[in-house]
Amino acid sequence: MVTEENKSIEKRENILNVAEILFAQQGFEAVSIRELAKVADINIAMISYYFGSKEKLYEEIVLRKLTSTEKMKSIIEQHNTYTDKLFAISDLYADVFIENRNFHNIIFREMAMEQRTMMNAVITENLYKNFTLLSDIIRKGIKAGEFKKNIDIELVATTVIAVNKLFSTSPIVICKILNVDESEFTYGEKHKKRLKKYLHNLLTSYLAIP
């Protein structure tokens, strides 16, 4: 059922979605209000009307999709061994990064900025929390005797994020590397499976006790 109220919300939502794609493709400053309005098929004044300003629109895009630690925690609890917990989180990263790759393009671009902003702080904090969950699993896995002792916990966690990130947010170069046609490569299940499987193997060989 589509009520009249929902229509307005849908229009707002549509602006957010279009803006997310454009910001991801070109960067925040490169996208003008006029271009955004054209693509979203709305009047330029509607952005100020709905969001207040271009800056606030950007903030809303970022804040609405930050992966909640709660979701990660519940996934962690669903598995017994630390290996399974680690695999599940690694898989989640692949899924979330690929599914929302436009969004994560924005996030990692923001992360690379060296000038600190309010938004930057929020993003850093969020990523750090997610990272902590990851490194905690590894730390506990060591204590439980499931993983080797002399491993670099922080950098393994970094690796999981780094590989998933590069894979999902640099499609052009990844296509060349995997020798896949770019038009065909829509990050389908096939390549996602390959990525997940590889990370499982990589983590196992580095962490698992032979």
Per CB under 8 A, the segment of 45-53, 60-68, 90-98, 120-128 that binds a copy of itself is: 120-128
Give me the count of residues in the chain: 210
* Residue 159, SS3 per DSSP: helix
Output the CA–CA distances (angstroms, integers) from residue 135 to 75, 111, 160, in the order listed: 15, 20, 11
Of 50 and 180, which has the nearer Cβ to a copy of itself? 180
Select from a copy of itself, DNA, none the partner in contact with residue 69, using the beta carbon and a kind-dependent cut-off of 5 to 8 Å.
none
Position among 48, 68, 78, 81 found at the interface with DNA (CB under 7 A): 48
Specify whether the CB–CB gap between 75 and 94 falls below 8 A: no
67 binds, among DNA, a copy of itself, none (CB under 5 to 8 A by kind): none
Does position 125 bind DNA by CB under 7 A? Answer: no
Is-contact 48 86, C-beta < 8 A?
A: no
Calculate helix-pair angle for 118-143, 101-112, nearest 10 degrees.
100
Residues that bind a copy of itself (CB under 8 A): 24-30, 105, 108-109, 111-116, 120, 124, 127-128, 131, 135, 151-152, 154-159, 161-163, 165-167, 169-174, 176-179, 194-195, 197-198, 201-202, 205-206, 210
